Amino acid sequence: MIGNVALTLALLSAVFSVIMYFLNYRGYKNTLAPARISFHISAIMVLAASALLLQAIMTHQYQYRYVYNYSGSGLPLGLLMSTFYAGQEGSFMLWTLFSSIVGLVLLDYTSKRGDLEQRVMMVYGICLIYLLVMVNPLLKSPFIYIWSQPDFIDLKHINSAYLTLPALQNFLFSDPQSGKQFIQVGPDLLAILKTNNVPLDKFIIEGRGLNPLLQNFWMQIHPPMLFVGFSMAAVPYSFAMAALIKDEYNEWVKQSLPWLLIGTMVLGFAIMLGGYWAYGVLGWGGYWGWDPVENSSLVPWLIAVASIHTMLIQKKTQDKSNNDKLNAGRFVKTNLILSIFVYILVLYSTFLTRSGILGDASVHSFVDPGMMVYLLLLIFLLFFGLLGLGLVFYRWKYLTENFSYEENILSRELALFTGSFALIASAIIILVGTSAPIFGQTVELKFYNELNLPIAIIIGTLNGLSIILKWKTTGKKELLNGIKVPMIISLLLTAIIFIISSFENFMLVILTFSSIFALVVNAEIVLKILRRKKNHAGAYIAHIGIAVFMVGVAATAGYTKNEQIDLVKGEKVELWGYQMNFAGYQPIEGGKKYVFNVEIKDGDDIKVAAPVMYIAEFNNSLMREPDILVGLTKDLYVAPVSYDEVNPSNGGQTVNMKKGDVIDYRGMKIEFTDFVLPEDMTAMMSGGKFKIGANLKVTYNGKTYNLEPFMENSGGQQEFHTAELQEADLKIDLANMNATGGEITIVLQSPSSENIPIQPPKEVLTVDVSIKPFISLVWLGVVVMIIGFVISASRRSKESLA
């Protein structure tokens, strides 16, 4: 209850703060202090509400519906804390929390810079109001009691001490199908609990628990980082709006840049952590599946990266000696629009993933949040979009008259601008593909891969070229000199890779070439710079990272091999030069899960891959966790599919027969007389559905029987049908047919044979094995890129604080 009060107060004081900032900007002198105080109150209330939610989770207060639905007892501390943001309410809460903290830092920063505070905090305050509206007690507050709405709760989650209360008996239900018992909670039950003096926080003693897919290390890191990134996306928006409000475009770039860099770094890192999570733990096979949830956070990131580049140009092209208002630098309009779009796209991402509109399109599961939330998400998206772009439109005439420039064709400005547009093109493509489900459509993954490949090539090339090109203009000779050495080195390297690996996809060869080119150019610069100005190396290091990343992407995309194999315990299987052996399984974690040991022998080296499978109680379904043998040049990825104990066929005899052959089998004569061909031969020719069988004449005890095992084929799918002769205790399986060669392979069995000793069942583990070459470069590239971002952000922060 106190939580809801805190959230309501936070909302009210945030609204008050925005109004006060607005009035102060319009000239009302004594409103600045109230604006600041109420912003602080709002932030303190959000902190308090977050602390209360955390406390409710830590102390298992299952009377809150949110805690009941997403948390549970028996979780280790880290995972228990991460149930804070396991559901929609809590993740909005986390976003609000981070936004409040970022807001406090932003307030401190802007308050030292004239009237910047009023303009920036006014806009940022509105962004905060959006989140506070979402978590208000009428919508998605995590502090709503479970009895506020009728719901059924598993009886085993209820404190059994109170179940004997006679008044409760009317609320008990049982489901004959599953044998489970439930209690109906709701306002009526609450009234009864109160009249019987049942302590409300002791009535429900267990929660539904955390989804097992989320129960791993990355759950504690990935979502918080993502929401820090989301929170920081509102900052460049606020700075851009602040510039538009005052109609002055000089200062904001310098001020906004460090915030943008840090936000982009955190968001990018969060996205790739998600990729690593999907690859290493969830067993989705790869690091990127173009899933709507992944895509919708990638799109704002791409735009943020594009805007970093154009903002840098604007900053660089400002004349430092000239304080004139019109000396704002290049790409003023582009920067305003991109900064606004970063935040709008974060909101759009939220709309796509939170409104339930993508219901059928994603592997992530979505809860339908109800019409009200859907509408509000849409309204806020439109509001912030119209507010931002409307203001740009309002200033458009002034902007075009004063900030239109021409760039030289051989300038770094133009190269960076073109690179940014390549990023924008990629963002648009991903956005369209991801939004398609709104119109009842969806695209195949090919759509993303084929379109982004040429863009990646353009970006790779510009990554190198833009650094060779000088600011303003470059002589043709200079360009040739700069390009010569890296070009030769990368051509040679690509040629070597091409020969060694026999690339089949030509586009991937070009991508490799352009990435290596970028790598060489940037590495050259870094080596030069590191001797002199270390803090200037950030951008180049980040670019080396992205180049390494792209080489890794090209290698894994072009060379991943994948095979599903059955491993019978004790029987070795050869695959790609490895010898694989299923060595059995053991229970782990107190018998909750099973680990399956697959010995993989590569030459003399034996390693054990240990994928895990278990049945999760949470949703009563099979969970599979892959295991990866990480190598420098390739990962061997072993994902479990199924485990079976197969009873071997009891002593069947396999026989090859030609037409007219007669064999003896346990005193029977079996003759293969003829094939039974389909009546309609056209179906067979056209690959349609048809049956083809073998006629077998069996003589037993002087009687003759005709048996006809057959194969049914439809669209390349073959099904074999057995024929049985009960009198003779004979079963004939058709194993193979070769109609043109006039040959069949049959398996003869005695269904009831008791004289044959029973063999122990075979243990069969089916696994999906894949080789992912150079996926290590993908992760290495990301890490290097993040290091570059950190150096860059610290340099720009110092500049902007100066």
Residues forming contacts to another protein in the complex (CB under 8 A) are 151-154, 173-178, 180, 182, 359-360, 363, 365, 367, 406-409, 414, 417-418, 420-422, 424-425, 428-429, 432-433, 436-437, 440-444, 446-447, 450-451, 454-455, 458, 564, 566, 619-624, 641-642, 644, 646, 688-689, 714-715, 717-719, 766, 768
The token duo for 746 is 């049959």
User: How far is the C-alpha of 5 from the C-alpha of 143, rounded, in Å?
Assistant: 10
Of the pair 284, 705, the CB lying nearest another protein is at: 284
In the chain, what's the furthest Cα-to-Cα distance? 116
Burial of 237-271, coded b for 16+ CB within 10 Å and e otherwise, reads bbbbbbbbbbeebbbbbbbbbbbbbbbbbbbbbbb
CB of 517 to another protein, least distance (A): 19
Judged on CB neighbours under 10 Å (0-12, 13-18, 19+), 158 is buried
DSSP string covering 201-250, please? HHHB-------GGG-SGGGGTHHHHHHHHHHHHHHHHHHHHHHHHHT--S
User: How far is the C-alpha of 336 from the C-alpha of 314, rounded, in Å?
Assistant: 11
CB atoms within 10 A of CB 165: 13
Of the pair 114, 359, the CB lying nearest another protein is at: 359
CB of 785 to another protein, least distance (A): 23
User: How far is the C-alpha of 773 from the C-alpha of 497, rounded, in Å?
Assistant: 13
CB of 447 to another protein, least distance (A): 4
Bridge partners (DSSP) of residue 605 are 602
Of the pair 209, 437, the CB lying nearest another protein is at: 437
CB of 165 to another protein, least distance (A): 20
Of the pair 568, 790, the CB lying nearest another protein is at: 568
Of the pair 439, 506, the CB lying nearest another protein is at: 439
User: Beta strand 151-154 with 180-185: parallel, antiparallel or unpaired?
Assistant: antiparallel
The alpha-carbon radius of gyration of the chain (Å, integer) is 33
Of the pair 266, 422, the CB lying nearest another protein is at: 422
Of the pair 624, 697, the CB lying nearest another protein is at: 624
Of the pair 360, 664, the CB lying nearest another protein is at: 360
* Chain-centroid distance, C-alpha 556: 18
CB of 421 to another protein, least distance (A): 4
**Element spanning 738, H or E:** strand 730-738
User: How far is the C-alpha of 791 from the C-alpha of 538, rounded, in Å?
Assistant: 5
Is the dihedral angle over the CA atoms 312, 317, 321, 324 positive or is it negative?
A: negative
Of the pair 155, 392, the CB lying nearest another protein is at: 155
User: How far is the C-alpha of 209 from the C-alpha of 75, rounded, in Å?
Assistant: 8
CB of 636 to another protein, least distance (A): 19
Bridge partners (DSSP) of residue 634 are 773
**Element spanning 62, H or E:** none
User: How far is the C-alpha of 791 from the C-alpha of 798, rounded, in Å?
Assistant: 11
User: How far is the C-alpha of 89 from the C-alpha of 610, rounded, in Å?
Assistant: 36
Of the pair 41, 458, the CB lying nearest another protein is at: 458
3-state secondary structure of 193: helix
